[in-house]
């Protein structure tokens, strides 16, 4: 709890708070200190009269201060901190905000434990102004003076408990002579024991085994716990605070609601808001606690880095000395210069890290102090007192957490010395001897937020570590085969982002990247696992079983007579002979479904629809060779064809506006065709394995448009024995 002590001290007197009051800016100050820093504006002058006089130069430049209004630091000033304000007997001075500051005419106040009660203090002069010593905001007191500020009973209780915990050690209550220091207190017996008396008078057996023993300091605090005090309203002293004004963010009484300015404001029950704000403060503390834990770990990392820098510096210096000593005498002068550079680098690294350690230690101490203070505040059972300070504490906790933002817990310096002496040059070039970079690059860092997959493509992005100063000539990206096979190079170049196309659907790929320069190839990055068109929903959800893929026709692999339009989704042909065009995506796993609609159908041609290998013949009807599996159809009937073998003639043809569906299921190795949402014939082909492309053959009498990214038809469930009768 030592870190919390600064939270419990008055910013004016530097001692523990005594009768603290809460200023409108949410800062605290001792009541006596508040009287000490009051300043008084002259009764004979006012801002209105000064403006009315029309004088271009005035002794005092008054601010237009409304009562209880706050002003910025640039418009604020301190009053006299020397003593109480009274009628001036000596020339006054002017503070930065234009208000006269009168020197005290009474002796210095006595010590705090001899201060009289507030009722016996001198009255507050009229037109008094007070400036917050922390945020420098100024405000004018109303007719109630300092009584208009609420007392911070929560802070007063925390200070009291803290001082009690720091008091002299408690003595055992059962020692007959020379009581020893107590080590425990029994909450049930309400007795302090030293170790010998505890063993003799309070053995841990029988009924006494169920008693709870606590440390003496905790026992003293629990002894002093008293029932919650009922708070009274600062404006209506006979009324208890029972409600909370949401708009003004302060506890109020019923008379404030009936007569005061809170009558039209939204109010809520005091107890409910007490619990709500305690929960908010606790939630804010959780985040701050995580930051404090990270800061402690970060400090350990920095301290270890100091040791590493020391070790690396010594090692590097020894190596440099050995190399220089092996050279002829002409190298000695240059050796001294190089050693100087190494030492400067050494000291620079140490200075940067030590400065960061110092900065982080101070910030962590402040954070820990604020946390301990907030935890003590949460223990308070006075809702109105808690609510008086809860908003400010929540803001402070959130602000403090923000100070531990991104980059705060990152080392500003690496512990490595990225310098190596090159002792190869000839003696005549000794005067040009210098450090050169001879290290391979560090392992790149994959930027996970920018890595993604879409359909059967994967995009990867990477960068060099932020503290690395080693030059990089290029990068090598490697992927496996999607089946836990060996890695292969897919990209070599200087870019730090790469998209790899043509991968298998519904496959898991491992990827990694490494950097290289003239000195060699560096270490691999961490391995990233990516999945293309991932599935994984319940099996009875038909749409989730199929891998939804978007693709177009591929102009690069199409026959020269093929004409593509509509972003490569619509195909026609310039020839009377059948020509083949394939899709730009290949399938090898999963369940896939796509459709083609007939935009134009003249003279009863017979286009063919299906799948093909990459090396299929492009100048004959699809299915004529052994590289394609297709259904060709005219206006009356259809046939299945593979390797020029025609099977399963089925009635039902196509015309303009017809829709042809192709269903490829790798889980069963089958191909099914549909016309106008009805299955055309039996299963067309079975035993399909490998890599296939969507394909079509047509002549100039037909125009077809491709539709992809479609769900599986409702009638089909993968794995059923008879697809035509399957219903999910």
DSSP 651-706: E----TT-EEEEEEETTTTEEEEEETTEE-SS--B----S-BEEEEEE-TTEEEEE
* Structural domain of 4: 1-41+123-168
Q: Quote the longest CA-to-CA distance of the chain.
A: 123
Which CATH number does the domain housing residue 3 bear? Answer: 3.30.40.10
- Secondary structure class of 323 (helix, strand, coil): helix
Do the domain assignments include residue 716?
Answer: no
Q: Which two tokens stand for residue 639?
A: 């046939």
Nearest C-alpha neighbor of 658 from the set 632, 677, 683: 677
**What is the SS3 assignment for 350-375?**
HHHHHHHHHHHHHHHHHHHHHHHHHH
Residues 687, 581: one domain? yes
Boundary of a domain, candidates 513, 532, 551:
532
Q: What is the pLDDT of residue 381?
A: 86
Which CATH number characterizes residue 187's domain?
Answer: 4.10.830.40
Q: Copy the structure tokens of residue 46.
A: 């006012």
DSSP code of 714?
T
Q: Are 35 and 130 in contact (CB under 8 A)?
A: no
Short-list 374, 350, 467, 359, CA closest to 404: 359
177 and 128 in a common domain: no
The token duo for 577 is: 């002979």
Burial-class residue 244 by CB neighbours within 10 Å (0-12, 13-18, 19+). buried
Tell me the sheet residues that pair with 498.
460
Ramachandran assignment for 527, one of left (phi > 0), alpha (psi -120 to 50 degrees), beta (any other):
beta
Indicate whether 412 belongs to any domain: no
Instruction: Give dist(CA 436, CA 283) in Å, integer.
Output: 53
Residue 280 lies in a domain: yes
Its pTM stands at 0.36
At residue 73, φ and ψ (nearest 5 deg) are -60, -35
Radius of gyration for the alpha carbons in the chain, expressed in angstroms and rounded: 42
**DSSP tag of 432:** G
Residue 20 β-bridge partners: 30
* Other CB atoms within 10 Å distance of the CB of residue 282: 13
The whole-angstrom separation of Cα 277 and Cα 395 is 12
pLDDT of residue 262: 78
pLDDT score for 650: 93
How far apart, in whole angstroms, are the C-alpha atoms of residue 98 and residue 59?
A: 9
Scan for tokens 């917050």, then name that residue: 132
For residues 473 and 588, membership in a common domain is answered with no
Tokens of 220: 């003293």
> Residue 305 in contact with residue 415, Cβ under 8 Å?
yes
Check residue 1 and give its pLDDT. Answer: 56
Query: What is residue 8's three-state secondary structure?
Result: helix
Q: How many CB atoms lie within 10 A of CB 246?
A: 13
DSSP string, 632-647: EE-SSEEEEEETTEEE
Q: Are 440 and 519 in contact (CB under 8 A)?
A: yes
Read off φ and ψ for residue 268, nearest 5 degrees: -135, 165
Residue 519 belongs to domain with CATH number = 2.60.40.10
Q: Which helix (H) or strand (E) holds 291?
A: helix 270-325
Extract the tokens encoding 151: 């007392």
The reply to whether 163 and 174 lie within a common domain is no
Based on the domain organization, do 607 and 633 belong to the same domain?
yes
CA-to-CA distance for 431 and 337, rounded, in angstroms? 11
Handedness of CA 174, 175, 180, 183 (dihedral sign): negative
Query: Do 160 and 181 belong together in one domain?
Result: no
The token duo for 111 is: 């010590």
Residues 573, 565: Cα–Cα separation, whole Å: 11
Of the candidates 339, 517, 349, 334, the residue with the CA atom closest to the CA atom of residue 439: 517
Tokens in use for 580?
């083949």
The pLDDT assigned to 534 comes to 52
pLDDT of residue 119: 44
182 and 156 inside one domain = no
Claim to verify: residue 255 and residue 286 sit in the same structural domain: no
Instruction: Identify the CA nearest to 299 among candidates 411, 415, 465, 404.
Output: 411
Tell me if 685 sits within 8 A of 673, measured CB to CB: no
Going from the C-alpha of 449 to that of each of 446, 459, 460, 513, 625, the distances in angstroms are 9, 11, 10, 16, 46
Cα–Cα distance measured from residue 101 to residue 129, given in angstroms and rounded to the nearest whole number: 10
Residue 396 lies in a domain: yes
Cβ-contact 180, 192 below 8 angstroms: no
Q: Give the H/E segment covering residue 397.
A: helix 383-403
Mind spelling out the 3-state secondary structure of 455-507? CCEEEEEEECCCCCCCCCCEEEEEECCCCCCCCEEEEEECCCEEEECCCCCCC
Residues of the chain with pLDDT under 70: 1-2, 40-127, 165-169, 219-230, 260, 328-331, 423-433, 435-438, 534-548, 718-728
Single residue among 494, 512, 532 that ends a domain in this structure: 532
**Rounded CA gap, 477 and 471, in Å?**
18
162 and 32 both lie in a single domain: yes
Side-chain half-sphere exposure of 322, counting CA atoms within 13 A: 7
Q: Exposed/middle/buried for 67, CB within 10 Å: 0-12, 13-18, 19+? A: exposed
- For the chain, the distance separating the N- and C-terminal CA atoms, rounded to the nearest angstrom, is 65
In a domain, 96, yes or no: no
3-state secondary structure of 537: coil
**Rounded distance between C-alpha atoms, residue 91 and residue 105, angstroms:** 11
230 inside domain: no
Looking up residue 592, the CATH number of its domain turns out to be 2.60.120.920
DSSP 708: -
The number of distinct structural domains making up the chain is 6
Residue-by-residue DSSP string for 144-195: TGGGGSPB-HHHHHHHHHHHHHTSPPPBPSS-SSSPPBP-EEETTTTEEE-H
| Distance, CA of 620 to CA of 607 (rounded, Å) | 11
Distance CA(600)–CA(610), nearest Å, equals: 19
Calculate the alpha carbon distances from 693 to 190, 300, 611, 618, 704 in Å. 85, 57, 5, 13, 17
**Residues 441, 516: Cα–Cα separation, whole Å:** 6
Q: Within a domain: residue 202?
A: yes
* Integer CA distances (angstroms), 295 to 96, 359, 369, 465, 511, in order: 40, 11, 14, 21, 33
Only one residue has tokens 């509509």, namely: 566
Q: Are residues 501 and 640 in the same domain?
A: no
Please indicate, yes or no, if residue 258 is contained in any of the structural domains: yes
**Whether residue 290 sits in one domain with residue 257:** no
How does the average pLDDT of the chain come out, rounded?
78
Residues 595 and 623 in one domain: yes
| The predicted structure's pLDDT at residue 548 | 62
Backbone angles phi, psi at 339, to 5 degrees: -60, -40
Angle of CA points 386, 123, 137, to nearest 5°: 50
Question: Rounded to an integer, what distance in angstroms lies between the CA atom of residue 187 and that of residue 191?
Answer: 7
Alpha helix positions (H), 470-611? 542-545
């Amino acid at each position: 709890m030592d870190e919390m002590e600064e939270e419990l001290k008055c910013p004016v007197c530097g001692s523990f708070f005594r009768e603290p009051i809460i200023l409108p800016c949410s800062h605290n100050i001792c009541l006596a200190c508040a009287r000490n820093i009051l300043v008084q504006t002259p009764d004979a002058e006012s801002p209105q009269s000064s403006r009315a006089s029309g004088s271009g130069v005035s002794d005092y430049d008054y601010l237009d201060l409304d009562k209880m209004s706050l002003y910025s630091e640039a418009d604020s000033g301190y009053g006299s901190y020397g003593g109480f304000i009274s009628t001036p007997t000596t020339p006054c001075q002017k503070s930065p905000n234009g208000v006269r500051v009168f020197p005290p005419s009474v002796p210095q106040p006595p010590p705090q434990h001899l201060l009289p009660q507030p009722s016996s203090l001198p009255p507050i002069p009229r037109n008094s102004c007070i400036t917050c010593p922390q945020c420098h905001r100024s405000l004018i007191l109303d007719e109630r003076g300092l009584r208009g500020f609420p007392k911070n009973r929560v802070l007063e209780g925390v200070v009291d408990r803290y001082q009690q915990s720091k008091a002299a050690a408690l003595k055992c209550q059962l020692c007959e002579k020379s009581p020893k220091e107590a080590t425990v207190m029994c909450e049930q017996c309400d007795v302090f024991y030293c170790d010998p008396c505890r063993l003799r008078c309070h053995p841990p057996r029988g009924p006494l085994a169920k008693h709870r023993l606590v440390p003496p300091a905790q026992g003293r605090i629990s002894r002093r716990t008293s029932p919650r005090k009922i708070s009274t309203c600062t404006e209506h002293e006979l009324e208890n605070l029972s409600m909370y004004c949401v708009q003004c963010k302060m506890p109020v009484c019923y008379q404030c609601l009936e007569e005061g300015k809170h009558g039209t404001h939204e109010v809520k029950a005091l107890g409910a808001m007490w619990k709500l704000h305690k929960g908010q403060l606790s939630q804010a503390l959780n985040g701050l606690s995580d930051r404090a834990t990270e800061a402690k770990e970060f400090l350990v990392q920095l301290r270890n880095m100091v040791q590493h820098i020391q070790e690396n510096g010594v090692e590097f210096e020894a190596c440099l000395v050995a190399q220089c000593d092996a050279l002829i005498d002409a190298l000695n002068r240059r050796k001294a210069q190089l050693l100087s550079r190494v030492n400067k680098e050494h000291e620079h690294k140490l200075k940067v890290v030590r400065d960061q350690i110092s900065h982080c230690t101070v910030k962590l101490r402040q954070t820990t102090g604020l946390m301990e203070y907030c935890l003590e505040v949460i223990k308070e059972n006075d809702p109105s007192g808690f609510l008086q300070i809860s908003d400010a504490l929540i803001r402070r906790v959130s602000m403090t957490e923000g100070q531990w933002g991104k980059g705060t817990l990152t080392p500003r310096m690496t512990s490595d010395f990225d310098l190596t002496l090159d002792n190869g040059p000839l003696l005549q070039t000794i005067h040009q001897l210098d450090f050169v970079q001879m290290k391979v690059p560090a392992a790149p860092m994959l930027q996970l937020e920018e890595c993604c997959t879409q359909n059967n493509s994967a995009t990867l992005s990477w960068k060099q570590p932020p503290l690395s100063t080693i030059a990089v000539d290029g990068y090598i990206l490697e992927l496996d085969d999607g089946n836990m096979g060996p890695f292969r190079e897919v990209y070599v170049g200087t870019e730090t982002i790469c998209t790899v196309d043509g991968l298998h659907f519904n496959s898991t790929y491992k990827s990694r990247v490494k950097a290289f320069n003239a000195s060699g190839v560096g270490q691999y990055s961490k391995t990233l696992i990516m999945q293309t068109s991932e599935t994984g929903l319940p099996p009875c959800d038909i749409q989730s079983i199929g891998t939804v893929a978007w693709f177009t026709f591929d102009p690069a692999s199409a026959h020269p007579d093929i004409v593509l339009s509509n972003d490569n989704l619509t195909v026609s042909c310039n020839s009377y002979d059948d020509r083949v065009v394939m899709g730009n995506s290949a399938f090898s796993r999963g369940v896939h479904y796509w459709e083609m609609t007939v935009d134009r159908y003249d003279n009863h041609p017979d286009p063919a629809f299906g799948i093909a290998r990459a090396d299929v013949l492009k100048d004959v009807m699809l299915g004529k060779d052994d590289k394609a599996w297709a259904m060709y159809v005219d206006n009356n009937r259809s046939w299945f064809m593979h390797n020029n073998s025609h099977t399963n003639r089925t009635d039902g043809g196509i015309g303009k506006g017809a829709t042809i569906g192709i269903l490829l299921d790798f889980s069963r190795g089958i191909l099914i065709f549909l016309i106008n949402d009805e299955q055309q014939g039996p299963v067309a082909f079975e035993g399909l394995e490998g890599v296939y492309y969507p394909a079509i053959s047509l002549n100039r009498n037909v125009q077809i448009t491709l539709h992809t990214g479609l769900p599986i038809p409702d009638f089909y469930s993968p794995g059923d024995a008879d697809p035509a009768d399957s219903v999910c």
